[in-house]
Chains A and B, each alone.
Chain A
Amino acid sequence: MVAVARPLAPSNDSRSATRGARAHLDAPLDTDVALETPEHVVFRYRVAGPALRTAAHLIDLLLLLTASFLFGLILVGIALLLGIAHEDSELGKALIGVGLVFLFAVQWLYFAICESWKGTTPGKAVLGLRVVTKEGRPIGFGAAALRNLLRAVDMFPGVFVVGLYLPAFVAMAITGRFQRLGDLLAGTMVVVPERTTNVQPLRLQPAIQPGERAALPEQIRLSPEELRALELFLRRRGRLGVAREQELARVLTPAFAARFHVSQVVDPVRFLSVIYDIASRAGRDEAPAQEFAGSGVAGGPVHSRPPANLLTAASPVTAGPERQGPRS
């Protein structure tokens, strides 16, 4: 598993759970852009806004200025070493020429070449940004060249590679994908590809007691938004203090208690955990391994028994797997 630490982003869990929560709901978060693959599957990229891009650019500038300074030092050092640091020396003038070409490369070639090779510059890579086309594909040389040529306009007023980037900010505010003028021309955008790791679904510990189950109605159904909200809360429990936990739970508990006709709730957090567990696993059993036609994955899980009183013993759907037991 690869997890990349990103200092400027909020914690992985809540952010990604929020994004996952919006999957097929009304509108995506407005910093996300949804892309449909040719397989008609929709995934989302988080688009980098002005703040992230400014930070990345500052890092790049630091790198460039340092490199130019060092290069200049090297040239001067060579000149002094060879004793040619005076007006009439030919080699000295040649070194000046080399220095000028280096400055040109820094100003015009650095960004274009880095982005067409890897899709990212060192400054962007530090913050985990990448330049992709509007369709989510890696960019080529033409797009990288165009978007960086227009940097001369985007960074007005400015000189060399340092500027105020006023037109860029205006363009980013207007377009839907935080594109500056160079991005508009080249059809690109800057995204933050998230690398999340898989975590286990929430498990209720200790398991539901019969008394708790009896106090709740037979069917507990929550809307997807409610499920996501509860999931978000329950995943953050570890980082909240006990008092804060209870305080937040007490905000939601009255509404659910009224809906499920529960007169008295002793422990709000436990109550929310229980109804989340029931609602998220409603009607699901553990499937036998054969159900899944994966690409040749063998092996099945160890089946745990679902709560017995959710399903009638006579139901043919559930009787099968329980009789046949775990498969390997």
Chain B
Amino acid sequence: MSDLSRPRGLSAISEQAFSANREADWRALEQLLFKPFSTWDVDALARLSPLYRDVSSDLSRATTAGYSGQLVAYLESLTARAHAAMYARKSIRGRRSWGEWFALFPRAIRTHKWAMTIAFALFFVPFAIGLFGSLHDSEFAIRVAPHEMLDNLADAYTEGFSKGRATGEGIAMAGYYVNNNVGIALRCFALGMVFGLGSALYLVYNGLATGAIMGYVAAKGAGGNILTFVLGHSSFELGAIIIAGGAGLVMGWSFVSPKGKSRAAALRAVAPDLVVLIVGAAVMLFCAAAIEAFWSASAVPDTVKRVVGGAFFLALVVYVVFGGRRQRPAGPPSPGTGLP
């Protein structure tokens, strides 16, 4: 028999009865959610699922029945908190192992090889211009880099490295390189958001300045010294800058040309690769900082330094070209955005 005094869609249960009946469950869920998720025991975990489902259906019920706004808001916040605990971010695949990261990095580089090639050109063409410009005309370098820095460097390299470098100064220089170079690379990546132009300009400027400095020092006669100095770490450092710049170009390009997706979706599609590239570039720069601080300025004979530097370079090329080529079974994609 229909009850005409009750509009259709409303529940026959009054809000008071509904609240009183379900209050205990809601308080139980609140108690559960009060502690951080990682401290829960097995019983708590077992209770979360039924409690969450029941509270979700309570929320639907309260909304449809038109109960007071306070109650609906309370149930919403409870559901939201339980939802956050229930659907935590860990994917089924689990944490990636170190071996997987090692393989992912060269694969990400190869996936975006066009961006990397363009970044390479954007760095080394101005580098060559700066180098030959400085060799040819010493006024050139002064326009690109500050004069005092150039003089300091020229003096330092003319001296040579027979004295080596003490540990304390090594730590200081390591700190300086970390602060300076990693920051430059990360900024180079971030500026790619400006349609890729930011990264491009950063690469061009850094290439030009680096080439100009090397040309200037070489023109002063310390070319051999500076070459020995940079050979050890330059493959890591310049490689990392190029990778970071390439990642910035990838980001900027997906923003400019989203190919049918929305721009936000295009960015998110490329985001997992960007994480791998940036983390890899940062690690390379940390290595470069350590090498530059302790090895490059040490009193080891020049020949050894050159050989080791060449070996580093070859190893890096082999890693990028051949690394991660063995087919690993692809795991299930992680939920949500796919970011690790």
- Measured CA separation A289–B23 after assembly (Å): 13
Does chain A have a CB within 8 A of B164?
no
B21 touches A146 (CB 8 A): no
Given known contacts A19-B73, A101-B178, A301-B20, A24 and B5 CB-to-CB distance under 8 angstroms: no
Chain B nearest CB from A215 CB (Å) reads 18
- Measured CA separation A51–B339 after assembly (Å): 28
B11 touches A139 (CB 8 A): no
A143 touches B68 (CB 8 A): no
Interface centre among A16, A41, A141, A282 (most CB of B within 10 A): A41
A315 touches B190 (CB 8 A): no
Among residues of A, the one whose C-beta sits closest to the C-beta of B34 is A2
Interface size, chain A (Cβ < 8 Å) = 105
Chain B nearest CB from A130 CB (Å) reads 8
Given known contacts A41-B60, A90-B166, A294 and B5 CB-to-CB distance under 8 angstroms: no
Chain B nearest CB from A4 CB (Å) reads 11
B69 touches A107 (CB 8 A): no
B167 touches A94 (CB 8 A): yes
- Measured CA separation A145–B337 after assembly (Å): 14
User: Within 8 Å CB of B279, what residues of A?
Assistant: 145
| Selected contact of A317 from candidates B3, B30, B51, CB within 8 Å | B3
User: Within 8 Å CB of B73, what residues of A?
Assistant: 16-17, 19-20, 194, 196
A94 touches B77 (CB 8 A): no
Chain A nearest CB from B4 CB (Å) reads 8
| Selected contact of B337 from candidates A91, A133, A153, CB within 8 Å | A133
- Measured CA separation A17–B20 after assembly (Å): 20
- Measured CA separation A153–B192 after assembly (Å): 9
Given known contacts A37-B83, A132-B84, A224 and B66 CB-to-CB distance under 8 angstroms: yes
User: Interface stretch among B113-121, B133-141, B179-187, B322-330?
Assistant: B179-187
B187 touches A152 (CB 8 A): yes
A196 touches B74 (CB 8 A): yes
A201 touches B76 (CB 8 A): no
User: Interface stretch among B212-220, B263-271, B298-306?
Assistant: B263-271
- Measured CA separation A108–B179 after assembly (Å): 10
Interface residues of B in 64-92 (CB under 8 A from A): 64, 66-74, 76-77, 79-81, 83-84, 87-89
Does chain B have a CB within 8 A of A261?
no
Does chain B have a CB within 8 A of A103?
yes
User: Within 8 Å CB of B251, what residues of A?
Assistant: 185
Does chain A have a CB within 8 A of B191?
yes
Does chain B have a CB within 8 A of A247?
no
20 contacts between A and B (CB under 8 A): A16-B70, A20-B72, A23-B72, A41-B57, A41-B60, A93-B169, A104-B179, A138-B88, A145-B279, A153-B191, A187-B268, A198-B71, A200-B16, A202-B68, A280-B68, A282-B6, A285-B14, A287-B17, A294-B22, A303-B17
Chain A interface (Cβ < 8 Å from any Cβ of B):
1-2, 13, 16-21, 23-24, 35, 37-39, 41, 43-45, 89-94, 96-101, 103-104, 107-108, 132-143, 145-146, 149-153, 175, 181, 184-187, 193-203, 218-219, 221, 224, 227-228, 231-232, 235, 280-287, 289, 291-292, 294-295, 297, 299-301, 303-304, 306, 310-311, 315-317
